[in-house]
Amino acid sequence: MILIDALFINKGGGAVLLQYLIEKILAHPQRDQFFFLLDPRFDKPATLDKNYVVINNSIRDRIKFYKRNSNAYTTVFCFANTPPPVKLKAHVYTYFHNQKLLEAPRQKFNRTYWRTYIKYLFLKRYNRNTDYYIVQTAHMVQELTALGLKDNAHCLTIPFYDDQKYKVPHKPFSERVKDEFVFISNPSPQKNYPTLLNAWEYLLAKGQTPLLHVTIDDTAPQLMERVNALSARGARIVNHVYLDPRDLYFNCPYLIFPSVIESFGLPLVEAVDSGMKVLAADLPYVYDVIKPSLAFDPYDKVAIANAVIKALTEELRFPEIVTRNEVDRLVQVLL
C-alpha cells in the first residue's frame, strides 16, 4: 500500500496540485494501492470515497498515526514539505514546494520569519526520515542541496500541474481590453504586494491609470486599506478578495507577477495557457517554467512601472512554457 500523506495541505497552490494528483491517481488502474491521509480543512474530491482517513492537523496526531501504522505501507509520499516524524522501513519521498522554508535559515533573525524558521527546524529534524525530495524545478534542487538537506542524487525534479485546465478556447489577445493587468495571489509577504502597489502609485503620479486586478483578503488589512486609499486618489485597482481566475485569465491581456519567492509559480503557466502575455520578476524560478514576455526587478517600483508602460506602448512577444507536466511519471515512481 502507498500512503499519500497530505496533512497540513488545505488551500492555495498546494491544494490545487493535491486535487489534481488525487484525480490522476483515482483514474489509474492501480488506484486501490493508494491510501490518503488528509487535513480536515481540505475539500476532498467527491470521487474519493474510500482508502482515506482524516485526522487532526497537529504534529501530535501525525506522530500517533505513523506509530500506529509504521509497517502498513511500502511507500510513503509526504505532500506537505515535511518528512514523516518517525523512521520507517518504507521507501519515503517528500514533495517540497515551499521555498520560503528554505529561505528561513538565512532570515532567522528576521521577526517576520520566526514561525517559518521553527517549521524549518522540524524539517531539518526529520530530514533523515525521507529518502528523496521531489521538487518542481532545478532551482529548488539547488536550494535543497545548498542547505545540505540532500545531495543531487536524492532530489528528483518532477514538475506536475493540470496542463489541460486552461487549454480551452479563449478571447484572442487583440480583442482584450489593452490596459488590464492581473495578479492573483494571497497576500503573503513573499508575494511582494507592497512594491506592486507602490508601482501603481508611481504610475498614478505619472498620469497613467492602468487597471490592476488583485486578490487581497482580510489577513492583510493594511494592504486592503492601501488599495482603498490608492483607489480614492484615482488609481484603478479592483480587489476581488478571492475568485476563480479563469474569467480574468481569459479576458485580460497581461499577468504581472512580482513575487520574490516561488517553488514553481503555477499562475505563470496558467497565464500562458490562457493566451496572456506575462510580465514577471527577473528571478530564477520564472525561467525554470516560462520565458516571460518581459522581466523586471521585483524590488524596484520604478522598474515594475516601466515594464507596465512598455507593455502598453510596445508589442511584446508571447511567453513560452519551458517546463512540462510529468504527473504520470510521478505516479509511476510511487508505484
Statement: residue 12 has pLDDT above 80: no
Closest CA to 260 of 215, 299, 222: 299
Predicted TM-score (pTM) of the model is: 0.85
Q: Which three cell numbers stand for residue 276?
A: 496572456
| 283 phi/psi in degrees, rounded to 5 | -135, 155
Say how many Å lie between the first and final Cα of the chain, rounded.
9
- Grid coordinates belonging to 212: 490592476
What confidence tier does 76 reach under pLDDT thresholds 50, 70, 90? very high
How many Å separate Cα 205 from the centre of its chain? 33
Q: What is the per-residue burial (b if ≥16 Cβ within 10 Å, else e) of 81-101?
A: bbbbbeebebbbbbbbbbbbb
CATH 3.40.50.150 describes domain 2-157: no
Q: What is the C-alpha to C-alpha distance for residues 114 and 204, in angstroms, rounded to an integer?
A: 36
Topology of domain 173-321, per CATH?
Answer: Rossmann fold (3.40.50)
What is the domain partition of the chain in residue ranges? 2-157, 173-321
Please compute the mean of the pLDDT values over residues 117-129 and round it to a whole number. 91
pLDDT in tens, 190-206: 899 999 999 999 999 99
pLDDT of residue 201: 98
Looking at residue 213, its pLDDT comes to: 98
Measured in whole angstroms, how far is the alpha carbon of residue 235 from the centre of its chain? Answer: 28
What one-character-per-residue DSSP string does 229-246 give? HHHHTT-EEEE-SS--TH
Rg (alpha carbons) of the chain, rounded to whole number: 21
- pLDDT at residue 61 is higher than 80: yes
Q: Could you report the per-residue pLDDT of 265-320, keeping only the tens digit for each? A: 899 999 999 999 999 999 999 999 999 999 999 999 999 999 999 999 999 999 99
How far from chain centre, in Å, is Cα 158? 15
Q: What is the pLDDT of residues 21-32, one digit of tens each?
A: 999 999 999 999
| 80-111 residue pLDDT tens | 889 999 999 999 999 998 888 888 888 877 77
Q: Do domains 2-157 and 173-321 have the same CATH topology?
A: yes
Q: Check if the beta carbon of residue 335 is closer than 8 Å to that of residue 30.
A: yes
For residues 297 and 281, give the distance between their C-alpha atoms in angstroms, rounded to a whole number: 6
pLDDT reported for residue 14: 85
Strand partners, 38: 6, 54
